[in-house]
């Protein structure tokens, strides 16, 4: 075979091996034009804080007997948080109740005398002044009874305040006072803090432009906006809520 024939065979093989790929087909669909709400998502760093935070303070003075709650535990509304020595307040209540019974007996006797004096006055056997004097004594004793009842009520309230209960449900913080200490109503630090975490508040800030977008999307915040809290570390969805402020 001569060299010219070999060159022609090489050109033939090259041109014969070239293939033309068919054009790709793009699927096209037709849809109806309509108006829909487009989701608006805004991301921001947030901070979780208790929905309510309460500092539990003593309302009476006295030695702190016990603080049965455990730090970091969850408590329900009405659970015992701390107990102050109730002994002096029990004696105050007994004293107030005794004074009430004494004055009530005097009032009952004064009323009986007044009834008798009025009968005698109708028979003209006693001076009218004596009747008026006895009636004034009855009024005075009724006022004394009202004072005694107030003292009994105050003593009962102070006695109940020796048992400090949780005003809300939540999680207990660090105990600030141990049993054995003398607590006072003047203490500003309190005994312990309780933070409500169900529900919990999540606060965040947004630029002014994003705020305007939210305002437009919610009709000036008349419509509720769904919020989602994600973990900054793992990106997992922690919980969902609603924008309230």
Q: What is the pLDDT of residue 20?
A: 61
Assign 62 to helix, strand or coil: strand
CA–CA gap between residue 149 and residue 103 (Å, rounded): 10
Assign 46 to helix, strand or coil: strand
Q: What is the pLDDT of residue 190?
A: 93
Q: What is the pLDDT of residue 22?
A: 67
Query: How far apart, in Å, are the Cα atoms of 8 and each of 12, 14, 18?
Result: 6, 10, 16
Residue 85: closest CA among 191, 155, 159, 188: 159
Q: What is the pLDDT of residue 21?
A: 65
Report the largest interatomic distance among the alpha carbons of the chain, rounded to a whole angstrom.
Answer: 171
Mean pLDDT, each 10-residue run in order, the chain (245 residues)? 44 49 74 78 85 93 94 94 96 97 96 94 90 95 97 97 95 93 92 92 86 83 86 88 82
State if pTM tops 0.75.
no
Enumerate residues 6+ apart whose C-beta is below 8 A from 134: 110, 113, 114, 117
């Amino acid at each position: 075979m001569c060299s010219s024939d070999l060159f022609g065979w090489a050109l033939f093989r090259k041109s014969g091996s070239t293939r033309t790929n068919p054009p790709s087909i793009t699927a096209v669909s037709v849809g109806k034009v309509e108006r829909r709400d487009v989701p608006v998502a805004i991301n921001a760093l947030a901070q979780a804080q208790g929905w309510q935070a309460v500092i539990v303070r003593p309302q009476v003075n006295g030695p702190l007997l016990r603080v049965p709650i455990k730090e970091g535990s969850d408590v329900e509304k009405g659970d015992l948080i701390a107990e102050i020595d109730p002994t002096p307040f029990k004696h105050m209540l007994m004293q107030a109740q005794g004074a009430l019974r004494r004055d009530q007996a005097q009032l009952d006797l004064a009323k009986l005398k007044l009834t008798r004096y009025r009968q005698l006055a109708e028979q003209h056997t006693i001076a009218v002044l004596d009747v008026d004097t006895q009636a004034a004594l009855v009024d005075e004793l009724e006022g004394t009874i009202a004072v005694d009842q107030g003292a009994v009520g105050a003593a009962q309230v102070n006695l109940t305040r020796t048992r400090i209960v949780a005003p809300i449900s939540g999680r207990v913080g660090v105990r600030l006072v141990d049993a054995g200490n003398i607590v006072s109503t003047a203490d500003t630090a309190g005994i312990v803090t309780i933070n409500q975490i169900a529900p919990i508040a999540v606060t965040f800030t947004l630029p002014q432009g994003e705020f305007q977008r939210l305002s437009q999307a919610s009709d000036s915040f008349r419509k509720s906006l769904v919020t989602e809290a994600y973990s900054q570390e793992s990106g997992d969805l922690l919980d969902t809520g609603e924008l309230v402020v």
